[in-house]
Structure 1
Amino acid sequence: MGSSIWSCNEDEILNYPLVSYIQFMNNHGLLSIGEQLQWYSIEKGSNSYVSKMLNKNNFTVKKVP
């Protein structure tokens, strides 16, 4: 599951610190079997806030190949 969340292969996720991995899973409700956290999404997706951030232009955008 970790490699799909972070979009990496199995070897890379095995190098991730275990404590950090468990904390992330716990914080996002991924360790419980019963009660699940309510997940929310933003209307119109990331376009609704990314374009506003880019328009402010107070930071450098790094393009990744």
Structure 2
Amino acid sequence: MQDERTSVALARIENALSRIETASTRLPASEFDNEELARLRTAHQTLRGRVEQAVSQIDRLLAGQEA
């Protein structure tokens, strides 16, 4: 059960990273206005925090399996 949850979490993280990479190639940075850049920075920080939490949770789950 834990392996399945870990796999699902990792797949979600990989999908999110893929979407970010795809989005980053759509428009050159010069085509964004300051408001859009601020929105993207906020979204990036939010996503980064969620990913860090997910990775920490995965680490805790894996540590619990080893114990």
TM over 0.5: no
> Which one has the bigger helix percentage?
2
What TM-score, normalized to structure 1? 0.30
What TM-score, normalized to structure 2? 0.30
